[in-house]
A and B are shown apart, each in its own frame.
Chain A
């Protein structure tokens, strides 16, 4: 999100899910949408099949969406910046850019033009493997469309160049005047049900709710007054990926973890378990005893989504109600009650009668949520922020007329290689992600019989050519090794895999792929490079 915030001034999906069916052209990159966001994928597929719109897919894997694509650009993993620069090169060369929009609404175009001038399709082909003619074709499709949308997900951000990748996509969208219009925009698909809401609510080291900076004295004073406290910390906190290495150094002694399972989901999993074991005190609050919970001193049983009231905010900034369906299971309690109880015992009562009362406080201190009420959610179904006052209808697409930061900022960005490239010892590229039938670390989905029937175990997707060369047959057990670890799982000779690249989902603790991935972080967003690392694969000897 850091990339979009720098470019536009706001880091969220600019447009709405329903608009994806209307876009004349949609460019999907780093998102295996049919498996990770299946219902959004229905929009993309309907746009092609029912409304005859065009679809560009840029992905190293032959994902299902490729079947519906007008054109598929298959880049080498980690070469996204080069490909996007190449698209912009062609668009400028062929005069498909929106010069009036660039002049009126953006800045720093000259620097961008100078940088992308070097990225001729032929040069991009050398870096990325995308044929120059295909790149030209895709550039014309995107550049000539009246309204064109960009959709991306973790395949773009989980790189050491993640922020650069996002800024490059934002460059492309602004170049063609596609931001601030209906059915256009730059649209990051958030992976978890309330990841947008967790960010909006200040579940970040640098901001209060509504992205109000903790280093801004005015915002701190406002929150101090609202909360009846003094001396709120004025320093920037650490991210999750920074907190873990700070533990052995003695800089973090206690962690209170709600609903997260970093032992599986973090890069280089062994680097997570060790630090957590060194904590003086670890509290884990979850609905199951996760791999992380087993390391805790105290485990608190939380109620699931079905057992409480509240709101989630989806990937298109839409706030919608969560309603209690059944009473809490066993002696579990809703997370908000547990937090309030701990606060009370620390001398700061939080006497909220129900989640609606908490939401009323959120509205008072969070300008983008100020106009949203439970009553409106009841009658209107869902509201998209910013919604600054009770008469405001909510915002379907952002940056209409003007960017949040004023002018949109072009960033001239050069291609950099991923942190680890394949070599003689580790000749294959490993990329990770989700499969349709499982979800995240599997604590929920692996307890659903139907989902387990379709995806019972970890499968290593490998292309037929690579499998034949390594004498690996469908269904046999293989060992995958990186410089950091190894795992054993069953091979799946798949048409989704392309030569030189294997794919392993991260849902399975018994074949935890993040033991193999590299903990190299994007320097700005602190996101690990889950999408590229070097591995080798071998038969497990019987």
Chain B
């Protein structure tokens, strides 16, 4: 067999030096389930869901943390692999409070999907271990339900390796393992900057977008890809909507942000539905605003601009474009000012 070829499930595949078995399999569209693997982070081999059988190896090996080598012969769904994976899933299900009925993650939970895929009906280990089930609900953005945490460590790597905020780590030992912020403080009193990367990374319902809680099941939501309205980075994000209300925002796996967002992009969208929104044109009379129809307001604007242009001159009128509106709108505004009014007094707040 030539170098840089391996066999997965009987198919001969090429791979690049340095790739893991998981990457080689994905390159050939062979799906190996994982819970802890996370894009842009160093593999940890924590969850053991991705174990595969490698010919000649004494034990099953984690595909995410084992380098592909030339001539390797790999089975990703052999009876031995499936038995081991079922056991791992059973242990994970037994390790916490995995009640799907009212869980926010129901329908997009990766543990639930694995239990279904491998038909794990009732865990063989019925009694959860004697660990306290924390529920942290003291800030308005992120809920932490430790009773559902499977200790995959994705959130920790998302925080430390993707966002590099270094706010959380795995604390304590053995069965008392727990994700800790600073010296095991609530997020709100820690170094957490609420980028929400951990929520997006969590494969189960242990980390929740609080604003979305109870507002819609995953399958009820419509997903629209758009561009964040805050800073100039232009992060791509998916806005999830139900009944014409935004439910939540997640980072889209696209340039330039590769799935990342910050606190404003993820949790700062509420202004859209705020009761302070202007909903009708206003005209000021004797120093106070009154509501007006669009026709009345637009006619007034056009006639006043025409009067001032005709009587004082087009160079007495200025128009301010906006760094907050679209290209199409900025283009039309400068066209209106230059071609219709006849002024070059056009600017926006680039300087501020």
Are A448 and B267 touching (Cβ within 8 A)?
A: yes
Bound CA–CA A209/B333 (angstroms): 11
**Pair B305/A358 contact, Cβ less than 8 Å:** no
The answer to whether the Cβ of A194 comes within 8 Å of any Cβ in the partner chain is yes
- Taking a contact as CB atoms closer than 8 A, the residue among B224, B271, B278 that contacts A444 in the complex is B271
Given contacts A49-B164, A306-B239, A525-B351, contact A204 B346 (CB under 8 A): yes
Q: Which residues of A are found within 8 Å of B232, using beta-carbon distances?
A: 37, 189-196, 314-315
Chain B residues whose CB sits within 8 angstroms of the CB of A196 once the complex forms? 232
Which of B194, B282, B306, B328 makes the CB contact (< 8 A) with A299?
A: B282
Between A300, A327, A361, the greatest number of chain B beta carbons within 10 A of the residue's beta carbon is seen for A300
B312 within 8 A of A: yes
Q: Check if B267 sits within 8 Å of A451, measured CB to CB.
A: yes
Q: Is the CB of B281 within 8 A of A254?
A: no
Interface centre among B300, B312, B325, B352 (most CB of A within 10 A): B325
B282 touches A298 (CB 8 A): yes
Q: List, in ascending order, chain B residues with CB within 8 A of A335's CB.
A: 322, 325-326, 329, 333
Q: Determine which residue in B289, B336, B352 has the highest number of CB atoms from chain A within 10 A of its CB, and name it.
A: B352
CB of B278 within 8 A of CB of A252, answer no
Interface residues in A41-80 by Cβ distance below 8 A to B read 42, 45-46, 49-50, 68
The number of residue pairs between A and B whose CB atoms lie closer than 8 Å in the complex comes to: 473
> B342: nearest residue on chain A (CB-CB)?
A233
Cβ contact within 8 Å between B351 and A326: no
Q: In angstroms, how far is the closest chain A Cβ from the Cβ of B216?
A: 14
Task: Check if A330 sits within 8 Å of B226, measured CB to CB.
Answer: no
Q: What bracket does the count of chain A residues touching chain B fall in?
A: 35 or more
Chain B residue nearest to A256 in the complex (CB): B319
Q: Which residues of B contact A49 (CB under 8 A)?
A: 160-161, 164
Which chain B residues lie closer than 8 Å to A319 at the CB level?
327
Residues of A within 8 A of B211 (CB): 450
Contact of A312 with B351 at beta-carbon distance under 8 Å, contacts A306-B246, A322-B326 already known: no
Would you call B180 an interface residue if the criterion is a C-beta within 8 Å of the partner chain's C-beta atoms? no
State whether the Cβ of A313 lies closer than 8 Å to any Cβ in chain B: yes
Does A346 lie at the interface of the complex (its beta carbon under 8 Å from any beta carbon of B)? yes
**Given A204-B347, A453-B139, do A243 and B318 touch, yes or no (CB 8 Å)?**
yes
Contact status A18-B231, CB under 8 Å: no
Supposing A203-B347, A227-B339, A527-B351 touch, asked if A194 and B320 sit within 8 A by C-beta, the answer is no
| Chain A positions 213-228 with a Cβ under 8 Å from a chain B Cβ | 214, 223, 227
B229 within 8 A of A: yes
Decide: B289 and A453 in contact? CB cutoff 8 A. no
Q: Once bound together, how far apart are the Cα atoms of A206 and B161, in whole Å?
A: 45
Contact partners of B278 in chain A: CB under 8 A: 286-289, 293, 299, 301-302, 330, 332
Closest to A330 in B: B279
Known contacts being A39-B260, A232-B338, is A325 close to B234, with CB within 8 Å? Answer: no
Residues of B within 8 A of A449 (CB): 140, 270
Binary contact readout B305-317 vs A (1 if CB under 8 angstroms, 0 otherwise): 1101000101111
Write the nearest CB–CB distance from B52 to chain A, whole angstroms.
26
Partner of A233, one of B228, B281, B344: B344
Q: Which residues of A contact B12 (CB under 8 A)?
A: none
- Residue pair A193, B330 in contact (C-beta under 8 Å): no
Measured CA separation A313–B294 after assembly (Å): 30
Considering only residues 351-382 of chain A, those with a C-beta below 8 Å from chain B are 352, 355, 358-359, 361-362, 381-382
Contact (Cβ within 8 A) B284 A298: yes
Q: Which residues of B contact A288 (CB under 8 A)?
A: 271, 274, 276-278
Question: B341 in the interface, Cβ–Cβ < 8 Å?
Answer: yes
Contact A266 B304 (CB under 8 A): no
**Interface residue from A203, A209, A355 paired with B348 (Cβ < 8 Å):** A203
Measured in the bound complex, the distance between the Cα atoms of B234 and A330 in whole Å is: 27
Give the complex CA separation of A37 and B260 in angstroms.
Answer: 12
Q: Which residues of B contact A201 (CB under 8 A)?
A: 321, 327, 330-331, 334
B271 A305 Cβ-Cβ under 8 A: no
Contact string against A for B residues 126-154, beta-carbon threshold 8 Å, 1 for contact and 0 otherwise = 00000000000001110000000000000
- Could you list which residues of chain A lie within 8 angstroms of chain B, going by C-beta atoms? 1, 16-18, 34, 36-40, 42, 45-46, 49-50, 68, 157, 189-206, 208-209, 214, 223, 227, 229, 231-233, 235-241, 243, 251-260, 262, 265-266, 280-281, 283, 286-289, 293, 296-302, 304-308, 310-316, 318-327, 329-336, 338-343, 345-348, 350, 352, 355, 358-359, 361-362, 381-382, 436-437, 439, 443-445, 447-451, 453-454, 525-528, 530
What 10 new A-B contacts, CB under 8 Å, besides A38-B195, A298-B301, A301-B277?
Answer: A190-B350, A193-B232, A198-B350, A314-B234, A319-B327, A341-B294, A359-B327, A382-B254, A451-B263, A530-B352
Q: List 24 A-B contacts (CB under 8 A).
A: A18-B255, A45-B163, A193-B229, A193-B324, A195-B232, A203-B321, A204-B347, A214-B344, A235-B315, A240-B347, A287-B277, A300-B281, A316-B234, A332-B277, A335-B322, A341-B294, A347-B340, A358-B328, A447-B271, A448-B264, A448-B269, A450-B194, A453-B188, A454-B194
